[in-house]
Every structure is written in C-alpha cells, then in structure tokens.
Amino acid sequence: MVPAAITDKVVDELATHLQSGDTIIDGGNSYFRDDRRRSAHLKKSGIHYLDVGTSGGVWGLERGYCMMIGGDKEAVDRLDPIFKALAPGRGNLERTPGRDKLGGTAEEGYLHCGTSGAGHFVKMVHNGIEYGLMAAFGEGFDILASANVSLKKGQVDAETAPIGDDYVYDINLADVAEVITITASALAGYTADGWVAAHRALVDAVKPSFVLLTHTYQTRDFAPALASALDRALITDCTAIKAGASGPLFTRPMFQGKLAADVRPLGDAPCLVTMQIGAYRADAARRGASPAPLRALDVAIDAATIRQVPEAPFREARQAVDLSQAERIVAVGRGIKGPEHLPLAQALADALGAQVAASRPICDAGWLPMERQIGSSGQTVAPKLYVAVGISGAIQHVVGMKGARTIVAINKDAEAPIFEVADYGYVGDLFEFLPALTAELGSDAVKGG
C-alpha cells in the first residue's frame, strides 16, 4: 500500500522482479480506471493485478479487515486463504432471519466484486455512502446544537465576531424524556415474532403505563400478538385522547365510523393503544428545551423463535395523492349537489395550491375516487389549512380532519356542526361565494354551472 501518486512507479519497478503467474495486490485507494490500465499492461507479462479496497480502520489489526476485491478469478481463488485469514469472519453471530442459505464469502467479510477495478470502485461507493451519512448526521446535530444560539448571551469584545441572523431559528423539539433504541440482527427485516420480542423486552425494561403505536399495517399485524403475550388490553384505531375522571379515555370509531366511542382500558398497565396517522399535529407537541438523551437497550432475540420469513413491507396500490402529506385541502360534501359543480372546488384548490378531498357520500356516489375520502372510514389528515365546502360536519368526517391547524367552513346552514370545529366560517350560498373567493385569490379557473 503506497500513496496513489507513486503507485505507477512502484508497480513498474516491482514488475521487473516478478515472473509470469505472480500477483501484485494494490491495497491502497487507487482510481479504478488506473487499476484497469495497470492490469491490462501487466497481463502482457502474465502478471496478475488485484485491487483490494479495505475497511477496518484502527481496529483492523484486532478485528480483521473487510475487503472488496477486483481482479481475475484465478488469482483471487488462489489467494483465498490469505483473504479469509485477514477478514473478520462471521464469528458466532446469528444470521439474519431468512438468510440461512446465503453462502459465499460476503458474510465472512470479503467479496470478489468483479474484474480489475471493481474492488476499488465498490470501495469508492462504500466511502461515499459512509461519508455522506456521517456528514448528514454531523450537520443535523450541528443544526440542533446551534438553534437560536445568536439569541443567547455570550462574550462581547473586539475579538469575538457577531454571529448574525443565520442562527436565529427555532427547532421544535418534542418534550421527550428519553429515546430508547434497540438494535438486533433479527430485526433487520420485519417479522411479527421479532417485533413482539423486541417490544416485550422494552416493556419489561421500562415498565410504561401506556404503549402508543402508529396504526399501520405492520402494527395491525404484531400488536394483537404483543397484547396477548403481555396479557394486556389493546385499543386500536384511536383518533384522540381525552382526560377522564379515572384516567385517559381513548376515542375510536365504531360501527364503520357511525359512532365515536370513548374507551377506558381495564386491567393492569401497560395498555396498548394504536393511533391513526394524522390524529395529532407534530408541530403541536409540547416543546422541550434540549434534545432528549439516547439510550441503547441491549436485547437478545433468538432467531430460532422467529417463525416468519422477512418479506417486503405491504404497500397499498399507489394512490394519485397522499392526502396525509398535503399542507392545504379543499374538501367537498353533499352541499356541492352534483359532480358538475366539482370544478368550483378544483378552481379554489388550484388557487390555494391545495388538494381536493371529499366526505364519504361524495366518494360513495363516485363523484371522486375513494382515495380522496376524509373521515373515520377514509384518510385522517392534519393539514395547515382545511376548507370544508358544503360539509355538514358529521362526527365520522370530523374525526378525520379535526387535527387541521386552520379550518374554514362554507355552508348555507348556520347550525351545521362543522362550524363547531371551524376557526373561520361563511354562511351563505357556496355557488356564489366560491367563484368570488377564487377570483380574489387570482385564479383563472372556470366557474361551475
């Protein structure tokens, strides 16, 4: 291993002392195109040239070096005992579930990546990913540490430069007591048994009063098994948490969204609760003064107890729009009267840079696709702006949008329940008001009939 600048000179001098069948190993950081050129030149004399990208740093002598090898297969196979001796090996680590029949040398810590140049090319990609991640983490921690630093009192003298306005920003850090992490090879791919084992170990170690989970497809898969293993109550699909006389009440839709029930858990702690995505706004979380401390929890998960084989996460068919990510939404209800009036809402949405959504009756009638439905049996959203057009405000719809930062209601019925949750309201004919509002916003969209 020599500096890249003199590699050509060293290789040329070394080649004069070698004969056909000998091998030169370049363990430095040569450019992969130079590797290919040197290999082609030495091949004329029957000399093999292997480029080996190494990773291991200061711990390499103790733990071994991971190696990415490029060159012809004959030479690589002949030197395999050397590479195997230098590599860290798998040791007594358990294989990741589902990879019991992996084979090859990769899990031992070295890999023949291809022809000449491939080793250093793969190492170059490896370095790029590694350094990129390190830089991203470093930048992220610096942003957290520097939040509002210019607002803090500090030394003021001729030798201390003023910070300026670049560091006047807030970081909305949630008021979290602690962040606990679990790392285990058995969790590399999702399995219900693995997730149950990890969460059960976490509950045993922390002894929480409640375990809150997001109501996702994965949670629906493992949460019932976790509740059964812990012999504890499970309340699913919740949209709100209320203070009750004897403890928290969890609001969840029932009977296909026709009723919202406040449920009080019974039995010993912890109670498991799954929350709908969008039930609460992230920016509404109580702020903490500093980042929460991190703690790694050492958990041993026996791979032999995992009965499932990891598969790719379940994904719904790709939707035209993910309303949960929309910052502004214009939603229509039965007050729109017919699909021929939908251009009115679309024009307003275009003027606002918003997505169009609807209450269930609109989607049931086929006026808009089901993926646009907001409510207990549709999507739950929490946009910055939610404009409800001709929506009465039944509880089934409100549970899906009450987390919006600002709610504007447009309805001719002054007694409509939607006004109870609205920040702003207009009582009147939407067919007159929407074109006027759209025009005021500067839209050129067509007026509905």
C-alpha 250/C-alpha 121 separation (Å) is 55
CA 14, chain centre distance (Å): 51
Task: Determine how many CB atoms are found less than 10 A away from the CB of residue 111.
Answer: 19
Calculate the alpha carbon distances from 99 to 145, 186, 270 in Å.
Answer: 41, 11, 35
Spatial CA neighbour of 166 closest among 147, 152, 153: 147
- Maximal CA-CA distance, the chain: 97
Active-site choice (130, 139, 327, 340): 130
Q: What does 312-372 look like in DSSP terms, one character per residue?
A: PPP-PPPPS--GGG-SEEEEE-GGG-SGGGHHHHHHHHHHHT-EEEE-HHHHHTTSS-GGG
Determine whether 74 is an active site residue: no
Amino acid letter for position 25 = I
Determine whether 13 is an active site residue: no
Check if the beta carbon of residue 273 is closer than 8 Å to that of residue 250.
yes
C-alpha 79/C-alpha 66 separation (Å) is 15
Give the HSE-up count for residue 112: Cα atoms under 13 Å, Cβ half-sphere: 17
Spatial CA neighbour of 290 closest among 142, 141, 173: 173
- Phi-psi domain of 445 (left: phi exceeds 0; alpha: psi -120 through 50; beta: other): beta
State yes or no: cis peptide before 270, omega within 30 of 0.
yes
Catalytic residues: 123, 130
